[in-house]
Structure 1
């Protein structure tokens, strides 16, 4: 099988600023993080078989 992998979207955020009130996330501290997915789409060519 030949081809390539392509990231359609990601959900990477920095936890250092904006997640907690004091601006820092300490090691071994549990913090709830909500990541909203971005709208995304991928179009495949007609008559190509993907295994």
Structure 2
């Protein structure tokens, strides 16, 4: 079963850099929180930090 790339249509440069990651990312939305409630799982929220490879 393939996963849906929910980040493909976002405008955030931070989110777009993760659009091809092998993680089932969701942009912040009512649907994301409803899915977490339905599945009874926590929501892990990224604060959007990004740094170049020299800074890491």
TM-score (norm 1): 0.18
Larger Rg: 1
More helix by share: 2
Higher RCO (Cα < 8 Å, 6 or more apart): 1
